[in-house]
Structure 1
């Protein structure tokens, strides 16, 4: 990297000692060195995330933006610029690794709101490490090597780029252009129907984060009157009519309510067997005797599990911009716990994780739960990933539920079973399936083992309810919170094994499909194939309890009201939706049939349902933002 000391153009002598004096060009600056390093890393990042690479956008927007950042550093810092470059290089490497690991599981690229949850990542422990490939550390190699060479004084570069190119005004003018190039994508960052990952390809990962941050921090405040958002408006927007005398109204009146949310529990294993062994024998039995909804879909956003809790307990949509449990923890949110408390129920939420994870401690106050049972209550006698295994969750909590029934009181208990959480690694003594050898140690084999155990543990709850004379006094609702295996990122080998197991292609429709089962004591249920989502749980439960819901809610009673329209966001681009016949992806305008061909589906309805979807999400966001503080 040294220029020739014999060149008249590039060198002269120091008259004090007659030694050559080092001459520098732009190619001998740290500015240029770190720009090249960024380009190399960015190309490597692109190859791991995207299937194509746009030179025009990359060099037209992203590199210009990075040059702008570097020039800001040159202008603002008189000293220690080198360590500033090294810090930028290090943070960029960490950022790329985080995004790749996140994309490996969620199949999407995080915005700055997700990045702010980085502190939660350490609590995921084994789940994060299962997604990490040691090869990703190559992103850090250059930083370590540079620091070593600098300490050994083995490289020689000019720190100040302005001493190599004149006039300085030319560079300052270019800096203004760089700022403008960043501002251009910011002005378009609110484009709602454009796929996030495609937008990042076009804008660049750096520009996207800047645009996302800008649009969310400096967006104009919502001025729509929240009082105009009513259940009538929601029903009219969805195009549904409620029955004046709904069926099964009050069928579970005055009963206790237990809701069980099962982690990463998809619908496809129910009813399946392997080597003559049922994967989910407990759920199979419940599904054969009670209401089982086969076309039930997740609607979560970036909060994942906690978003599923929110949907089931509020019938509102989680935020697409923020982590709902953090953004709205200070609000007084109309909810199922508040509603049931108002008619004499004791309410409790139970899971074995720390309640501070995802700010649940404050979030549960916002939802109005009377009691919270978490790791502090359950202890750590037999932990799995986050806390006690599911068997102990159910077994150790029943005495508490029995106490809540004293003096003829009723209770509402919301459970979260966590043993089937990614990476689906459970101890050998809990692995009760005898899998074929080809499944051993694979993602699919581990997943089947984990949900088989989660199903077995659920049987513990059933037995405990019967033992404590609560089985015939309790409305039981069981549902999955979200997908376990992403259809876009599953490896080819795992996909082949999975498709062989389920007997059909593994699609986005299959990925988003989670189970819903409802047991009403004394009533024989049936298999239902009408479409529903997590937002529909609250109105379905309140109908069975004989409670008229006047608070704003976006779901509908699945036992009475059809058709349905389920807005999706985050795991599908905003504007995507599921209706009775198809799943519509707004990012690429794909129409994905829910069952074979979309018979009877009118393509002319796509735009109409798309516009309805945007309105419903907007109404929910406005409603949440304008709720009173606690």
Structure 2
């Protein structure tokens, strides 16, 4: 045994021996991470073989660079390459845990717009076992530092180094051929990064993403007006007129959009510990003057909240990587809801958010979309204890925004972005009014508490609307922006839903989020049509009497009869009333059973829905990445000039005062310039005993 140990030590004390050790350790830890930290969905012996093979080619190629160097420089280079690639793997483990996806250069490029409070999420994401990915690096450093293996100063022959590089290339070629055998078009027709990592590895995915990012930059430079022809032809063939009986029923009404952060449909009528989690939203959902949709899905990608906003305001998808708002919000031409309503019907438009204006590049994007006002964090009183997680607590935020809301000349279009129900769902004890769930998953168990708090805040706001009289002339829209609990928590979700298991089909169905359109006198009810966030804008336009047919919008009115009910997901999957696609599998939507032997009719439906899904995603990407709307000039619409908007506090005060005197339609003006803030009642403990007038209300006169 001692002799064997000596032989191993002597072998490792050669340059090639150390190289083999480094590659083997890196391969082992990467394979461990693939199987324990990611959900790549490998099935069958062939895919498991590919998963085991794919770390080797790039590891050999990268580590092999050190073999071209001499002496200690070779060892240091190998360790540096190991450190850099390991750090990238570690970063992806953390990102994947929260977003079920891998990092992209586009995301990194826009990271400054989402960096605020990022540490709040990271500290809750990291697990001790994540640091095991650095174990191989530590082992290599230790064996060198304690001279368990000696540094081999002899150079490696260039011919040997080149043969090793060639071996890496040949292994990659074999890997790629095997991958294409199992999934043709892997690199040319995919919307899911998991497939690339599963078949080719994280390092190849990184290179692939870098190439795509560079290509996307080139697309915009090369785009021309004729590129819109295919978009217009598809829209012409697939145009669906809005529901005639609802056309214009809300014309001239104020519109308030409630962006319910991370709020999922299952929370409606959900009870825990004998108590409804969302009693206020339940009431609104079931009222006779509320149009509610129980098969409404989020369709976001990596951009999550920003993707939801992109669809809501533009009826265009977010991009396949990163956030469209972060990447294109400043530079692109848009024809968004705020500008459409302002130009066609004289609406005043405003967005309200309790965090910094740079988040998701909102300050620049909102100017591109034509928002007159953006009331971000600096507009509200902010004392110790007012914030939690990603900004102002919802109860405080909603009360603080009302002095600004009452100054908006009517009709107005106002989007309110809530924050408290945001991962990792923290809530201080004084605001907790419902116990945590007991799934054993810390990420999941606080979700009902922050959702309940959000619901209470909504209830307070709705009571204010009624007391102030705004409800008589206002349409309020509530929608959930994206999932709150990701598919990395299947066991916990199963417990919440009272199910024994929770498979991929269940995850797809779990993407339902609420959509409620509430207005006095509206003919309501629960609508069962299948639709998604891409369809909200055309639906609202029909209700408001706006002709959506002249704009480039990919969604359709949710109330339109005989509409196509295929809901496209950003990764290329889809759901419809009959068939659901998840990865390469198809399911019967009604039974949840996998369709192993599809009928002729089912095959036709699968092809038709897949074609519609991929076409819509491709057209949307083409529009955004090529900035094609700069070439499109709908009648009656003037291109938004971003220079016309200034979101500084002093500029906003001046503009609002001037506009109120000119239009004489704001709630404040109609109330004899007396604020309605006293009509707002909240039980927020942070505000108990404080004056009803806030810094914002006192500055509004």
Scaled by the length of structure 2, the TM-score of the pair is 0.77
Q: Tell me, in whole angstroms, the C-alpha distance in 1 between the residues paired with 2:586 and 2:513.
A: 21
Match of 1:560 in 2: 560
Q: Displacement of 1:414 after TM fit?
A: 0.7
- Does 1:206 pair with 2:203? yes
Q: Displacement of 1:201 after TM fit?
A: 2.1
Match of 1:106 in 2: 99
Match of 1:402 in 2: 406
Q: Tell me, in whole angstroms, the C-alpha distance in 2 between the residues paired with 1:140 and 1:507.
A: 35
> Contact between 1:583 and 1:591, CA under 8 Å: does it hold in 2?
yes
Q: Displacement of 1:36 after TM fit?
A: 2.6
- Does 1:156 pair with 2:154? no
The farther-off stretch of 590-599 and 281-290 is 590-599
SS in 2 for 1:513: coil
Q: Tell me, in whole angstroms, the C-alpha distance in 2 between the residues paired with 1:199 and 1:65.
A: 14
> Contact between 2:301 and 2:319, CA under 8 Å: does it hold in 1?
yes
Q: Displacement of 1:606 after TM fit?
A: 0.8
Q: Displacement of 1:616 after TM fit?
A: 1.6
Match of 1:82 in 2: 75
Q: Summarize the Cα distance change of 1:110–1:159 in structure 2 as closer, same or farther, 3 Å threshold.
A: farther
> Contact between 1:297 and 1:512, CA under 8 Å: does it hold in 2?
yes
Q: Summarize the Cα distance change of 1:150–1:468 in structure 2 as closer, same or farther, 3 Å threshold.
A: farther
Instruction: Spell out, residue by residue over 1:581-630, the C-alpha distance to the aligned partner (whole angstroms, 9 max, x if none).
Output: 33222x22322405768999744211122112222222222222223396
Match of 1:44 in 2: 32
Q: Tell me, in whole angstroms, the C-alpha distance in 1 between the residues paired with 2:616 and 2:333.
A: 21
- Does 1:366 pair with 2:365? no
Match of 1:392 in 2: 396
Match of 1:593 in 2: 589
Match of 1:57 in 2: 50
> Contact between 2:187 and 2:196, CA under 8 Å: does it hold in 1?
no
Instruction: Spell out, residue by residue over 1:192-218, the C-alpha distance to the aligned partner (whole angstroms, 9 max, x if none).
Output: 258532432221221222223224424
Match of 1:525 in 2: 524
Which of 118, 130, 134 is the aligned partner of 1:136? 130
Which of 227, 244, 247 is the aligned partner of 1:246? 244
Match of 2:639 in 1: none
Q: Displacement of 1:279 after TM fit?
A: 1.3
Match of 2:281 in 1: 283
Match of 1:25 in 2: 14
> Contact between 2:31 and 2:52, CA under 8 Å: does it hold in 1?
no
Unmatched 5+ stretches in structure 2: 632-641, 643-701
> Contact between 2:479 and 2:514, CA under 8 Å: does it hold in 1?
yes
Match of 1:582 in 2: 579
Match of 1:431 in 2: 432
SS in 1 for 2:529: coil
SS in 2 for 1:540: helix
Q: Displacement of 1:544 after TM fit?
A: 1.2
> Contact between 1:485 and 1:511, CA under 8 Å: does it hold in 2?
no
Q: Tell me, in whole angstroms, the C-alpha distance in 2 between the residues paired with 1:215 and 1:504.
A: 34
Q: Summarize the Cα distance change of 1:143–1:466 in structure 2 as closer, same or farther, 3 Å threshold.
A: same
Q: Tell me, in whole angstroms, the C-alpha distance in 2 between the residues paired with 1:111 and 1:90.
A: 19
Q: Displacement of 1:149 after TM fit?
A: 6.4
Instruction: Spell out, residue by residue over 1:241-282, the C-alpha distance to the aligned partner (whole angstroms, 9 max, x if none).
Output: 425x71221111111110011111000110122343221111
SS in 2 for 1:404: coil
Q: Tell me, in whole angstroms, the C-alpha distance in 1 between the residues paired with 2:381 and 2:147.
A: 54
Q: Displacement of 1:455 after TM fit?
A: 0.6
Q: Tell me, in whole angstroms, the C-alpha distance in 1 between the residues paired with 2:111 and 2:359.
A: 12
Q: Summarize the Cα distance change of 1:431–1:595 in structure 2 as closer, same or farther, 3 Å threshold.
A: farther
Instruction: Spell out, residue by residue over 1:220-260, the C-alpha distance to the aligned partner (whole angstroms, 9 max, x if none).
Output: 847683331556632524xx6425x7122111111111001
Unmatched 5+ stretches in structure 1: 12-21
> Contact between 2:566 and 2:609, CA under 8 Å: does it hold in 1?
no
> Contact between 1:265 and 1:420, CA under 8 Å: does it hold in 2?
yes
Q: Summarize the Cα distance change of 1:293–1:503 in structure 2 as closer, same or farther, 3 Å threshold.
A: farther
Match of 2:161 in 1: 171
> Contact between 2:99 and 2:302, CA under 8 Å: does it hold in 1?
no
Match of 2:654 in 1: none
> Contact between 1:535 and 1:554, CA under 8 Å: does it hold in 2?
yes
Match of 1:447 in 2: 447
Structure number having the greater helix percentage? 2
SS in 2 for 1:286: helix
SS in 2 for 1:583: strand
Q: Tell me, in whole angstroms, the C-alpha distance in 1 between the residues paired with 2:270 and 2:48.
A: 47
Q: Displacement of 1:410 after TM fit?
A: 2.0
Instruction: Spell out, residue by residue over 1:132-164, the C-alpha distance to the aligned partner (whole angstroms, 9 max, x if none).
Output: 21121222344456556656666522367xx24
Q: Tell me, in whole angstroms, the C-alpha distance in 2 between the residues paired with 1:78 and 1:376.
A: 58
Q: Tell me, in whole angstroms, the C-alpha distance in 1 between the residues paired with 2:490 and 2:551.
A: 44
> Contact between 2:577 and 2:589, CA under 8 Å: does it hold in 1?
no
Q: Summarize the Cα distance change of 1:94–1:199 in structure 2 as closer, same or farther, 3 Å threshold.
A: same
Q: Tell me, in whole angstroms, the C-alpha distance in 1 between the residues paired with 2:13 and 2:494.
A: 57
> Contact between 2:332 and 2:630, CA under 8 Å: does it hold in 1?
yes
Instruction: Spell out, residue by residue over 1:475-533, the C-alpha distance to the aligned partner (whole angstroms, 9 max, x if none).
Output: 1100000111123x2153x2342122899989123321000000122224111111111
- Does 1:535 pair with 2:534? yes
> Contact between 1:189 and 1:212, CA under 8 Å: does it hold in 2?
no
SS in 2 for 1:347: strand
Q: Summarize the Cα distance change of 1:484–1:472 in structure 2 as closer, same or farther, 3 Å threshold.
A: same
Q: Tell me, in whole angstroms, the C-alpha distance in 2 between the residues paired with 1:132 and 1:86.
A: 24
> Contact between 2:105 and 2:213, CA under 8 Å: does it hold in 1?
no
Q: Tell me, in whole angstroms, the C-alpha distance in 2 between the residues paired with 1:423 and 1:485.
A: 10
> Contact between 1:61 and 1:203, CA under 8 Å: does it hold in 2?
yes
> Contact between 1:288 and 1:526, CA under 8 Å: does it hold in 2?
yes
Match of 2:619 in 1: 619
Scaled by the length of structure 1, the TM-score of the pair is 0.85
Q: Tell me, in whole angstroms, the C-alpha distance in 1 between the residues paired with 2:499 and 2:459.
A: 24
Match of 2:495 in 1: 497
- Does 1:321 pair with 2:318? no
Q: Displacement of 1:580 after TM fit?
A: 3.5
Q: Tell me, in whole angstroms, the C-alpha distance in 2 between the residues paired with 1:458 and 1:502.
A: 33
The farther-off stretch of 76-85 and 349-358 is 76-85
> Contact between 1:486 and 1:511, CA under 8 Å: does it hold in 2?
no
Q: Tell me, in whole angstroms, the C-alpha distance in 2 between the residues paired with 1:541 and 1:143.
A: 56
Q: Tell me, in whole angstroms, the C-alpha distance in 2 between the residues paired with 1:23 and 1:552.
A: 64
* Corresponding residue pairs, total: 599
Which of 341, 347, 351 is the aligned partner of 1:349? 351
The farther-off stretch of 454-463 and 352-361 is 352-361
SS in 2 for 1:512: coil
Q: Displacement of 1:422 after TM fit?
A: 1.1
Q: Tell me, in whole angstroms, the C-alpha distance in 2 between the residues paired with 1:440 and 1:202.
A: 33
